[in-house]
Amino acid sequence: MNVTIIGLGLIGGSLALSLRQHGLARRFIGVEQSPAHARRALELGLVDKIEPDLAAAVAQADLVVVAVPMDAMLTVLPAVLDAAGPQQVVIDVGSTKQALLAAVAGHPRRGRFVAVHPMAGTEYSGPDAAVQGLFDGKTVVLCDTEHSDPDAVQLVEKLLQALPMRLLYLDAAAHDLHTAYVSHISHITSFALALTVLEKEKEEQRIFDLASGGFASTVRLAKSSPAMWVPIFRQNRPNVLDVLDEHLHQLQHFRELLAREDYDGLTRQIQQANHIRKILP
């Protein structure tokens, strides 16, 4: 099988490595806007060749993976479907789904497209961030598969199960709601935590000296790139605003309890937060 990967960053690059590792594809063609990233992807062996022309890259593939940021995705995915034939399969790997599925809803090749969101990543980006095994054992969400051709869904299921990933089926609206709750808000808290500490702690050496593992893990996501995350927040804005309001409410409640020295109340809040232990052991 030939695979064309459009966007050779963390996710596109890691997927190429993982498909190759499991012997699921023979030849990898890359499409990459940044000449530096394209060169680096070749050096790292993420792909076998770079194809500058999108339509030519699609024409050579059995499977096309669109792995660009969500703003570019809204124009790149329709262009890929324009170029796709009736036998080829196209997937995205994007973090929001409603806007994207609306953008291709009436497309004559809609059936060849399967909407995929692997719940895996790191705070790094670009081809150097690609790692083998990134998807190993992780959950992958497939959205609105009833609008995809059954043979396309079957191929994608077979590949993802072989990585191996755990398949989960959600409609696009449910996907965007739940990822706002479980993924997008943690990025916002982490960005805001970094800004807080950078604002209060003017002595950078002190941050370095005093940062224990706890701080480092909480602030880790704040290293994530705006090019990836701003389009996600934009496309999932109503859900993100909703969960952000709940988060502000929880923090304000915590603040009030501490301000009025209600330590029993703080204890109860923390006990309730500890409930996350049962869900994420």
Nearer to its own copies, 1 or 244 (CB): 244
Cβ contact 18:133 at 8 Å: yes
**Residues of 210-242 as b/e, b for ≥16 C-beta within 10 angstroms?**
eeeeeeeeebebbebeeebbebbbebbeebbee
Least distance in angstroms from the C-beta of 73 to its own copies: 16
Q: Which range binds its own copies by CB under 8 A, 58-66, 80-88, 151-159, 262-270? A: 262-270
6 counts as binding its own copies under rule CB under 8 A: no
125 counts as binding its own copies under rule CB under 8 A: no
Footprint (CB under 8 A) of its own copies, residues 86-105: none
Quote the tokens at residue 159: 């590949």
Cβ contact 86:67 at 8 Å: no
Out of 6, 120, 143, 160, which residue is the one contacting its own copies (CB under 8 A)? Answer: 120
206 counts as binding its own copies under rule CB under 8 A: yes
Footprint (CB under 8 A) of its own copies, residues 133-172: 138-139, 141, 166, 168
Nearer to its own copies, 1 or 197 (CB): 197
Nearer to its own copies, 6 or 165 (CB): 165
Cβ contact 18:134 at 8 Å: yes
For 2, phi and psi rounded to 5 degrees?
-100, 135
Residue 141 CA to residue 119 CA, distance in Å, equals 7
Q: Residue 159: left if φ>0, alpha if ψ -120 to 50, beta else—which one?
A: alpha
Footprint (CB under 8 A) of its own copies, residues 23-82: none
Least distance in angstroms from the C-beta of 243 to its own copies: 5
Nearer to its own copies, 26 or 237 (CB): 237
259 counts as binding its own copies under rule CB under 8 A: yes
Give the containing element (helix H, strand E) for 49.
strand 49-50
Out of 33, 75, 161, 267, which residue is the one contacting its own copies (CB under 8 A)? Answer: 267
Residue 150 CA to residue 129 CA, distance in Å, equals 33
The contact pattern for its own copies, residues 166-205, with x = CB under 8 A and - = no contact, is x-x---------xx-xxx-xxxxxxxxxxxxxxxxx-xx-
